[in-house]
Amino acid sequence: MTLFGGIEAGGTKFVCILAEGPEHVIARSEFPTTTPEQTIGRAIRFFREPPAGAGELAAIGIASFGPVDLNRSSSTYGYITDTPKPGWSNVDFAGGLRREFNLPVGFDTDVNGAALAELKWGAAQGLHTFLYLTIGTGIGGGGFVGGAPMHGLVHPEMGHIRLPHDWAVDPFAGNCPFHGDCLEGLASGPAIEKRWGMPATRLGMDHPAWALEALYLSYALVNLICALSPQKLILGGGVMRQTQLFPLIWQKVPQLLAGYVRNPLILEYIDQYIVPPGLGSEAGVLGAVALAMQALQHK
């Protein structure tokens, strides 16, 4: 069987899998993100040593934290570019893997990768315009518009949009080092922890933290609906494992749109419009596998 290697490269950890497809994962490894040499080195060793009897590696896909260069005509295509993460600026991520294995290497943002996996095997099958957001340590978003992955000038940075912030209700200044109270600064996992003085996982399900979190996420979703008119919004990431957020968001988004976008998916079936990933927490790493498959097809 043809084997595909997938790397979900996060700022905190890497997840690597060898798989024949979404339902046939042969091997898996997770390890913390340290230096590029060490971390990419571990990924390379993982792909070098497949389990006995496994097929041959045909392509590798990388779904990476950013910012990354996705412009195929650029001399730094496949690089992580100017990241504040120490040591990771100007790392030739895709090129390094390609030279090491002499195989096709697919490369995109972590969220565009997850969106591709959701399109192929998950909650976005058959759609042409949809978004995938991850709400966790950071907040990021990607997706497809008119059937094409969202690239553009660089790539979207949906975590950094600005929202109404009522300081009287929420005096927390936000913890984004660039923007203070952008979406990520108000609604990421670390922002919740800093605002309430304890990790989000320790806040009770009826803690007021969740209504506030749902409000900020709803403002962001409303802005993305108005900017892009997606056919579906898929919300993943650690914070969204607090599933009590979904009903709060389903209530708040139509309230904020106030009847302006008149479509049954918003007016009647909002729980089918704003959804968790069909692939659950595997969306990211299966996204990397989907990028590998695509790279083999297009080689």
Binder among 63, 111, 158, 270 for a copy of itself (CB under 8 A):
158
CA distance 17 to 43: 9
87 CA to centre of own chain: 22
Strand-pair partners of 80: 68, 91
Peptide bond into 22 cis (omega under 30): no
Binder among 222, 234, 253, 295 for a copy of itself (CB under 8 A):
222
Binder among 73, 102, 148, 204 for a copy of itself (CB under 8 A):
148
Binder among 29, 76, 231, 281 for a copy of itself (CB under 8 A):
231
Considering only the C-alpha atoms of the chain, give the largest distance between any 2 of them, rounded to a whole number of Å: 63
Please give the span between the terminal C-alpha atoms of the chain, in angstroms, as a whole number: 19
Question: Please, are residues 184 and 160 in contact by the beta-carbon 8 Å criterion?
Answer: yes
CB of 219: closest distance to a copy of itself in angstroms? 5
Residue 152 or 280: the one with the smaller Cβ distance to a copy of itself is 152
Residue 152 or 199: the one with the smaller Cβ distance to a copy of itself is 152
Question: Please, are residues 274 and 233 in contact by the beta-carbon 8 Å criterion?
Answer: yes
**Is residue 154 at the binding interface for a copy of itself, with CB under 8 A as the rule?**
yes
CB of 92: closest distance to a copy of itself in angstroms? 17
Binder among 161, 245, 249, 289 for a copy of itself (CB under 8 A):
161
Residue 146 or 204: the one with the smaller Cβ distance to a copy of itself is 146
Strand-pair partners of 289: none
**Residue whose token pair is 């790539």:** 155
Q: Is the dihedral of CA 69, 235, 286, 137 positive or negative?
A: positive
Of 79-108, binders to a copy of itself (CB under 8 A) are 81-82
Ranges assigned E (strand) in the chain: 2-9, 13-21, 24-32, 56-64, 79-80, 91-92, 105-109, 130-135, 139-145, 148-149, 233-236, 274-275
**What is the contact mask toward a copy of itself in residues 115 to 134, using x (rule: CB under 8 A)?**
--------------x-----
Q: 42: closest CA among 100, 109, 102, 90?
A: 100
Question: Please, are residues 190 and 177 in contact by the beta-carbon 8 Å criterion?
Answer: no
CB of 98: closest distance to a copy of itself in angstroms? 24
Tokens at residue 11, please? Answer: 């700022």
> ∠ CA 30-31-35 to the nearest 5 degrees?
145
Of 41-70, binders to a copy of itself (CB under 8 A) are 67
**Is residue 77 at the binding interface for a copy of itself, with CB under 8 A as the rule?**
no
**Is residue 204 at the binding interface for a copy of itself, with CB under 8 A as the rule?**
no
CB of 269: closest distance to a copy of itself in angstroms? 12
Binder among 174, 219, 252, 288 for a copy of itself (CB under 8 A):
219
Residue 43 or 176: the one with the smaller Cβ distance to a copy of itself is 176
Residue 128 or 299: the one with the smaller Cβ distance to a copy of itself is 128
Tokens at residue 248, please? Answer: 């709060």
Residue ranges in contact with a copy of itself by CB under 8 A? 67, 81-82, 129, 141, 145-165, 178-179, 181, 219, 222-231, 256-263, 265
